[in-house]
A and B are shown apart, each in its own frame.
Chain A
Amino acid sequence: MKQNGHKSQLTIALAGNPNAGKTTLFNSLTGLKQKVANYPGVTVERKQGSWKLENGHANLIDLPGLYSLDATSVDEQIARDVITGEQAGVPKPDVIIAVVDATNLERNLYLVTQIFEFGIPVVIALTMIDAFEKQKHEIDLDKLSELLKTPVVAINAKTGRGKTQLLKSVGEVLDKPPTVPFEMNGNAEDGQNAKIFARYNFISEVVQEAVKHNDRKEHRVSEKIDRVLTHKVFGLVILVAVLLLVFQTIFSWASLPMDLLDKGFGALGDLVRSEMPPGILTDLIVDGIIAGVGGVLVFLPQILLLFLFISILEDTGYLARAAFLLDKLMSRVGLHGKAFLPLMSSFACAIPGIMATRTIESRRDRFATIMIAPLMSCSARLPVYTLMIAAFFAGRKVLGFISLGAVLMLAMYALGIIVAIIVAFVLKRTILKAPPPPFVMELPPYRLPNIRTVVQNMFTRGWLFVKRAGTVILAISIILWALTYFPRTAVQTVDVPAAANGGVFVGTALPEISTESEQLRNSFAGKLGHVIEPVIRPLGFDWKIGVALIASFAAREVLVSTLSIIYNVGKDQDAQSETLISAIREAKSDDGGVTWTPLTAVTLMVFFVLAMQCMSTVAIVRRETNSWAWTFFMIGYMTGLAWIAAFITFQGGRLLGFG
């Protein structure tokens, strides 16, 4: 390969329409040698990899998938900046490989005609050529190349077809900037649209000369599938069925690795504790870092599986159909059809949901979706609901045969959805006010997903989450740990401050557990519990529940272990534990009254539906909105609504004679 006059390493950019097979080609050229990050300040993914050339390596940049370079969206702006060499930290590309879908030639070539105008050598990589030929269309590659005045290479990432040719063509075009193969002779009347018309006129001529279509029946297969999948009735039924299947699979597949991770982190903590001298540092590592970060990472299997299914739905083309089916419904609350999937994912976990909002182009729509995503009842709320139901409503029936627990559970999901609709409605009419977003979306042909792309996507996104949320999660874990760890309660002198503190129970429980419980009561978190008690008293919560609320900011399910510690039954109780349940039922407040009534339990559940009790979500919202203001707005409005709803539940319930 000729490289004279060039920097030792070539920079090559891959550009193309969404669904053109760009990612598959990128993966096939770079293998596993790729880096994914974000362009500074925006959530546009920056993918780079190393492509092995005949001599040396090229730095391959995967530009975001786009239809045009007119810079109407962030993606387009970034792509444009990369191509012109204005994107900081990215060298100006020496060659652009334009990825073009043979089955959708005209629209794909539009972007190519724009790229020509930047004066960078271009090689066209023609994908989906096998599907195209299978439909008995004919394409004259030489003719196409001649008309476009640039090399055209038919490739198939799966079979490796065209990879060597692509390499050769890149070498050929080096230092040979393209000539724009047509004239921009639009008339003045068309104004700025003249360029668009000129490009498409040129494309129509090229396609007419180089392609023989087999009376354009290529879309028939997808159309047949769509007759069922986007059918007015069956379409919706199938959509619901697909989602149920996805959720069922996520919950059943994820439980084993989640248990293993949970045990693994426990074992790691034990190991560290046995190997290190006892002291603050060991406690910090074991109880702060390993337990805190581990508590988030146990959700990773579930998050990865969600990413996997989102990727599959995306890759097959079904995701676009789901948005198409539900856009009308979503637009009633002012959201885009594409907001549906992120919100749906949030029922398992808000993190993949929030990361999936990237497909929504309008910033306001995207932010509105992010703001309401955590209101969907995620899987971390289940232990809380389960504990409350098991403690106070087990075995009770409504109308003689419906389980009261199931009704309550359903009510909690419904509450989250209703509040989300209201919040979206209000946001879209106030601070995120915008005209209804345009809905112009391609419905790509159905395709079998490429396993490798899908799996790679899953790990890339999972890793992005760990990397982006990692530091914030680590910091919050350490802060929460410190709140429960300091000041230290000396074991020997425990009943001296305890007397002053009041309410500390020194009883017959196992000494070590009792110490743990006392430590928590006397810690900053315990004191904070007292501080917030006046605020949560109207909700029927005492300071002990307050401590649990503070600790479960780490993650909602932490409520269960914190209550176990505070009620002195050891921290390893789960949500169905009889010991914990009876401890909750018998718990007394400082005034001697019973802490928990069924009404308190329902109030707590309502609080957990709406409150922003999840540091990972906080971290990811900060990253995705790139704004602390929005992050704090979310924490603020959710906690505020949670308080109001809990207040109405508790006080209303009392007025009605419950509790």
Chain B
Amino acid sequence: MFSDLLSKGYTLTNVPVGSSARVVAVNGNSRISRRLMEMGVIPGVSVEVVKTAPFGDPIEIRVRGYSLAMRKAEADSIDVSF
């Protein structure tokens, strides 16, 4: 049970605005996770959360030198480590 908690870790939604994190895994529905990975969000890459939209969703991140917007639902499928 303890190991469960440990392995759960953080997702991109836990990263505060202005901070960076390293991608550990991209989970979820294969179509979306595949699209995210093709856009360069793959394990090992560093991402920065730039801001959230006026109504709290979607969020903007910077990855590989460009800006990418995604909903929190998508961001939640990205495991990260600080």
Contacts and interface: CB of A to CB of B under 8 A. Distances in A.
B58 A328 contact: yes
A106 B29 CA distance: 25
B interface, size bucket? 20 to 34
B2 interface: no
Contacts of A327: 53, 57-58, 69, 71
A441 B68 contact: yes
B73 to A, nearest CB: 7
A216 B62 CA distance: 11
Contact of A196 (B38, B50, B70): B38
Interface in B22-70: 29, 31-32, 34-40, 42-43, 45, 50-51, 53-58, 60, 62, 64-70
A443 interface: yes
B74 interface: yes
Contacts of A445: 66-67
B73 A442 contact: no
Interface residues of A, number: 46
Contact of A438 (B40, B56, B67, B71): B71
B40 A235 contact: no
A67 B35 CA distance: 9
B27 to A, nearest CB: 11
B71 A331 contact: yes
Contacts of B51: 226, 230
Interface stretch (A217-225, A348-356, A524-532): A217-225
Contacts of A443: 60, 67-69
Contacts of A218: 65
Contact of B31 (A67, A72, A222, A323): A72
B55 A222 contact: no
B35 A440 contact: yes
Interface string A156-197: 000000000000000000000000000000000000110011
B51 to A, nearest CB: 7
A184 to B, nearest CB: 15
B60 A70 contact: no
A235 B62 contact: no
A331 B68 CA distance: 18
Contacts of B32: 438, 440
B38 A223 contact: no
A223 B65 contact: no
A328 B38 contact: no
Contacts of A438: 29, 31-32, 35, 70-71, 74
Contacts of B53: 230, 324-325, 327-328
Interface string A185-213: 00000001100110010000000000001
B38 A439 contact: no
Contacts of B68: 440-443
Given A436-B73, A440-B68, A440-B74, A233 B54 contact: yes
Contact of A328 (B31, B35, B57): B57
A68 interface: yes
Contacts of B50: 223
A244 interface: no
Interface in A411-442: 436, 438-442
Given A106-B64, A196-B38, A235-B54, A439 B69 contact: yes
Contacts of B57: 327-328, 331
B67 A328 contact: no
B40 A193 contact: no
7 pairs of A and B residues whose beta carbons are closest in the complex: A328-B55, A443-B67, A106-B64, A68-B38, A438-B32, A232-B54, A439-B71
Given A213-B65, A219-B67, 18 more contacts: A68-B38, A70-B38, A193-B34, A197-B43, A200-B40, A223-B50, A226-B60, A230-B54, A233-B54, A324-B58, A328-B58, A436-B73, A439-B69, A439-B74, A440-B36, A440-B69, A441-B70, A445-B66
14 contacts: A104-B65, A104-B66, A110-B38, A196-B37, A219-B65, A219-B67, A230-B51, A230-B54, A232-B54, A236-B54, A320-B69, A327-B71, A438-B35, A440-B74
